[in-house]
Structure 1
Amino acid sequence: MSKYLIDKFLFTVDRDPDLVERYREDPRGTVDWWEAERANSILGCHSGEASTWLRFEDTEREALASHDYVRLFELGAHPFLTLTLFIAMFERDYDEPLAFQKEYGMRLQHFSLPYPDIAT
């Protein structure tokens, strides 16, 4: 499992409004495209710099493709990265202020300390 790669996906998608919308509308296609085109790029480097070995495991790919932030948390994705991205994608679907954040907390309430390790 690569918590680094999951967090890199969440981080890079969250920082690009077009990718946020693409991920909202076509999650599986976005995950597949990102894995093929962006997963091996090196953050903060010039284009052309890349590694060759990073790939999602099936469980990671499925959690990302199904917007399953509870499963992503179980896999060790950083909770702030999942929260900020999923707020950007889904907060607009709720009428009440902070409604998505409350749902996020409610869906994760079954976890107790210690939480899954979020170190990369």
Structure 2
Amino acid sequence: MSKYLLNKFLYTIDRDAELTERYRDDPAGTVAWWEAEEANRILNCVVAERSTWLSFTDEERRALADHDHVALFEMGAHPFLTLTLWIAMFERDFDEPLAMQLDYAAKLAHLGLPYPDIST
């Protein structure tokens, strides 16, 4: 399991409006594409600079494909990265102000201190 790769996925998807919509509409396809094409790209480097060893576990792929922010947090994904991405993808589905954020928090309410380690 790679918290770095989970966080890199969330960060890069959230920074591109087209990828955000693609991930909302086709999560499994976006995860598969990103893992094959982008996971080993080194951030802030030219396209030719790549590593070769990073990949998601089956558990990570499933949580990403299911938009399961609770499982992602339990695996060590940073909650601010999931929250900002979830706001971009799902806030429009809620009628009341802050309803999406309250729903997000309610699904994490069962977790107590100490929280899962989110360091990478």
TM-score bin, normalised by smaller chain: over 0.9
CA distance in 1, matches of 2:7, 2:14: 10
Amino acid at match of 2:56: F
Q: Tell me the SS of whatever aligns to 2:109.
A: coil
Report the alpha carbon displacement of residue 14 of structure 1 after superposing the two structures with TM.
0.1
**d(CA) in 1 for partners of 2:55 and 2:46?**
21
The amino acid of 1:27's aligned partner reads P
Hey, what does 1:88 align to over in structure 2? Answer: 88
Aligned mates of 1:70, 1:83 — CA distance in 2: 11
- State TM-score, norm by structure 1: 0.99
Does structure 1 residue 12 correspond to structure 2 residue 12? Answer: yes
Number of the residue aligned with 2:58: 58
Identity rate of aligned residues, in percent? 69
What is the correspondence of 1:64-75 to structure 2 with a 5 Å cutoff? Answer: 64-75=64-75
TM-score (norm 2): 0.99
Matched, 1:48 2:51: no
1:22 maps to 2:22: yes
- One-letter identity of the residue aligned with 2:51: S
User: Once the 2 structures are TM-superposed, how far is the Cα of residue 39 of structure 1 from its aligned partner?
Assistant: 0.1
CA-CA distance at 1:97 after TM superposition? 0.5
Q: Take 1:47 and 1:56, find their aligned partners in 2: how far apart are those partners?
A: 21
Query: How many Å apart are 1:57 and its aligned residue?
Result: 0.3
Task: State the 1:62 CA deviation.
Answer: 0.3
Structure 2 distance, partners of 1:49, 1:86, is 30
For 2:29 and 2:73, locate their aligned partners in 1 and report how far apart those are by CA, in whole Å. 22
Determine helix, strand or coil for the equivalent of 2:44. Answer: coil
Q: Which runs of 5+ in 2 are unaligned?
A: none
Q: State the partner residue of 2:77.
A: 77
Q: Distance in 1 between matches of 2:104 and 2:115?
A: 15
Aligned partners of 2:60 and 2:3: how far apart in 1? Answer: 9
Query: Which amino acid is 1:82 matched to?
Result: T
